[in-house]
Amino acid sequence: MKAAALDLRDRRLAICLGPGGVGKTTLSAAIALNAALSGLAVDVMTVDPAPRLLDALGLEGDAAAPRPVALDGLGAARSGRLRAMKLDPKRMFDLLVERHAPSAAARDAILSDRIYRNLSNAMAGVADYMAIEQLLELHRRDPKSLIVLDTPPAREALDFLDAPRRMLELLNSRALTLLGASREMMRGPLALFDLAARGVLSAFDRLTGLHLLTDVQAFVRRFEGMYAGFAERAAEAQTLIRDPRTFIIVVTTAEIDRIDQAREFVAALDTMGLRTDAVAVKRVTAPMPDMAEIERAELPRALKRKLMRNFEDFSALKQRETAALRHLRDALPSATRTIVAQDLGREPRALKDLAEIAIGLRL
């Protein structure tokens, strides 16, 4: 069956996942560029703190807000546009507080809180959820555009996809009740347990002088009136990630160990109730030329022998690669397609290199 061009016109979100070192960021940029060249309005965002995606698209700086990528000279359809950004978790958290705090006084108290400052800068779980908030921000701003997400490597990406569920669990947990409860809330069958736990924290405060319980309680109470909004957006994000118009792509290379990692990743996503739409295989060797061309060429004998040895080496590599691709296709669910991205033979250093990868993407 002849390979078809990648078509994301009916999609609203494409999520690129995979282990580190397989070229996931480059492929995320290429997929976004492919869609923009075909005429779609596209926003591509990386959750990875490294600047590789911005470098691939020829952008400098932090790009904490979407920045346009010039498509001049790449043959883009007139309606196509591409913007790129890198997640800034602290900036996104501050923006949420400024937007949803019940009052200016509450906003200022939260932004100046020492626990908030440490939390918004340091915790990986916060970064995961802020990425979800940024995704919703982009989606709400332009629901008809396509968003392409470049996620962190492997296990961290699964944590990212699971962030909305974990946020909902946190907001429904007894931890918030324990830390922020008023006297009126401290009633019921578990009140003695909660009082005992709070007593332990209070004793710890007296011994250390850190005032941990008081500070944490103040922090939790400052967010009163905002929890319902967090829960609502977390549920909305879950719906968006699981929407039939979301396209989930696992990225790998044509090596047996990487192929096996991809299969495990697909299985893990299935356990989470997420369907993998495609597995993208990067750096696939171009089709081999006809050996007879070398034999017919009028070349010095020594050079011809060297070319023949190189041809044999590349032929063996291509055979292993073909076997790995067959192994992958045989193991995937029937509904999961494969995307092949041929190796450029060089590192993509300019937007035109990325466009070459983008144009060659095939299902």
Reported confidence tier of residue 209, pLDDT bands at 50, 70, 90 = very low
Which of 9-13, 49-53, 243-247 has the lowest average pLDDT?
Answer: 49-53
Write down the pLDDT at residue 49.
65
Write down the pLDDT at residue 173.
60
> Residue 206 pLDDT > 60, yes or no?
no
**What is the reported pTM?**
0.82
Which of 67-81, 107-121, 232-246 has the lowest average pLDDT?
Answer: 107-121
> Residue 264 pLDDT > 80, yes or no?
yes
> Residue 12 pLDDT > 90, yes or no?
yes
Give mean pLDDT, residues 339-348: 84
> Residue 325 pLDDT > 70, yes or no?
yes
CA–CA dist 35, 313 (Å, integer):
36
> Residue 122 pLDDT > 80, yes or no?
no
CA–CA dist 252, 264 (Å, integer):
12
Among residues of the chain, what percentage have pLDDT more than 70? 82
Reported confidence tier of residue 23, pLDDT bands at 50, 70, 90 = confident
Write down the pLDDT at residue 121.
66
> Residue 95 pLDDT > 80, yes or no?
yes
Write down the pLDDT at residue 171.
63
CA–CA dist 319, 296 (Å, integer):
24
Mean pLDDT rounded to a whole number for the chain: 81
> Residue 300 pLDDT > 90, yes or no?
no
Give mean pLDDT, residues 196-220: 55
> Residue 184 pLDDT > 50, yes or no?
no
Residue ranges with strand state E in the chain? 13-17, 41-46, 67-68, 81-86, 146-150, 246-253, 278-284, 337-342
Between the CA atoms of 287, 293, 298 and 301, what dihedral angle is there, to the nearest 10 degrees? 70
Between the CA atoms of 268, 269, 270 and 272, what dihedral angle is there, to the nearest 10 degrees? 90
Q: Which domains does the chain have, with CATH numbers?
A: 13-103+118-164+241-286+295-359 (3.40.50.300)
Write down the pLDDT at residue 71.
92
- Nearest CA-CA partner of 48 in 139, 152, 130: 152
Write down the pLDDT at residue 307.
86
> Residue 204 pLDDT > 60, yes or no?
no
Q: What token pair was written down for 230?
A: 């967090």
> Residue 142 pLDDT > 50, yes or no?
yes
